[in-house]
């Protein structure tokens, strides 16, 4: 079984729940993909790091990250994979809100004006969380060269992120779920 297929299998077994849910986008859904149930699993995080490195290997970029909280373990996994392959890389995360103390920065990590970055996210519905991360790094002068999510719910993310190189590792259809929840 490929790493990609195994990752899908792990998400389906550990992260997919059925019932009545309200998503971060505000939309109602008959299913929920709780990535935190799978992102803190040793096999999953190892596979994910390898796949994030693989899906970005054609790019020249300096940093990888996205909106807290989901992007934090994803960035750590990717950084580990990059290090193992000998590719230096910075990680970062974007806060949802600036803290009132400390450095008071929205983007935490080593991202500078002129850097080329990859935005990552766990599960996208409308793409709003990824777009929030995009805007934050663009506001400091970085260029987004790709957006990668683990799972696209096929409910508007591609349209929201139009004009960016958006690549989901898989979609809900790939794990046997229709976007409408049936």
The Cα–Cα gap between 115 and 23 comes to: 32
**DSSP secondary structure letter of residue 175:** G
Helix extents (H) in 19-168: 36-39, 42-55, 71-84, 128-139, 157-160
50-66 pLDDT, tens digit each: 999 999 999 999 999 99
Of 27-36, 108-117, 134-143, which gets the smallest average pLDDT? 27-36
What confidence score (pLDDT) does residue 92 get? 95
CATH number of 47-175: 3.40.50.2020
pTM: 0.93
Mean pLDDT of 101-127: 87
The Cα–Cα gap between 35 and 144 comes to: 24
Of 33-37, 97-101, 111-115, 119-123, which gets the smallest average pLDDT? 97-101
Domain assignments of the chain as residue spans, ordered by start: 47-175
């Amino acid at each position: 079984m490929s790493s990609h297929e195994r990752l899908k299998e792990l998400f389906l077994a550990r992260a997919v729940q059925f019932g009545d849910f309200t998503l971060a986008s505000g939309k109602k859904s008959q299913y929920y993909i709780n990535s935190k149930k799978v992102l803190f699993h040793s096999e999953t995080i190892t596979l994910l790091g390898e796949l994030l490195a693989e899906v970005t290997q054609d790019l020249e970029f300096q940093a990888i990250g996205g909106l807290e909280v989901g992007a934090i373990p994803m960035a750590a996994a990717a950084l580990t994979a990059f290090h193992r392959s000998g590719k230096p890389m910075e990680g970062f995360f974007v806060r949802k809100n600036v803290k009132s103390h400390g450095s008071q920065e929205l983007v935490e990590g080593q991202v500078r004006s002129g850097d080329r970055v990859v935005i990552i996210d766990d599960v996208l519905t409308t793409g709003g969380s990824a777009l929030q991360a995009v805007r934050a790094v663009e506001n400091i002068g970085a260029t987004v060269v790709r957006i990668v999510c683990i799972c696209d719910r096929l409910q508007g993310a591609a349209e929201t992120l139009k004009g960016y190189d958006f690549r989901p590792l898989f979609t809900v259809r790939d794990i046997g779920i229709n976007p409408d929840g049936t």
